[in-house]
Structure 1
Amino acid sequence: MSINIGDNNEIIKSNIIDNSNISNKDENDKKESFASKHPIFIGVIGSILASMIMMFPFWDNISQFIKNLF
């Protein structure tokens, strides 16, 4: 089998690619973030922080202001 390329150039009995195992190194070398590895842990920590913020006393003033609007 021969392939003509250009001005009568020939490649005879050649393999252009043979058993190529090309892998994308970017996908293999990507490190997952902590949040993507431990989503439940991040959710629990987030809810604990939110509940601690809601316990501060200035929320009473905000609640009273909203109640007085209606």
Structure 2
Amino acid sequence: MSWLQHQVMQAIPSNMRLQLDSMDIITKPKDMDASLTSWKGGAILACLDSTQELWIRQQEWRQFSVRLLRERAPFNW
């Protein structure tokens, strides 16, 4: 187990460690420009099936506006 894996394992609550089968630490590729990393992550996030429910359609926005955004946003703001 690497130092980083050990640190991450210590940060996970003990009751959740039992559910963890394996852990892969993926480091930033040396050839990827750091300024593009967030765009790459956003592109991946947009393609995930689990994020499809987060999209807001035009009619929904017209009807509920920011209230709907606050409900669907995956983070608190």
Normalised by the size of structure 2, how large is the TM-score? 0.22
Normalised by the size of structure 1, how large is the TM-score? 0.23
Q: Which structure has more RCO (C-alpha within 8 Å, separation ≥ 6)? A: 2
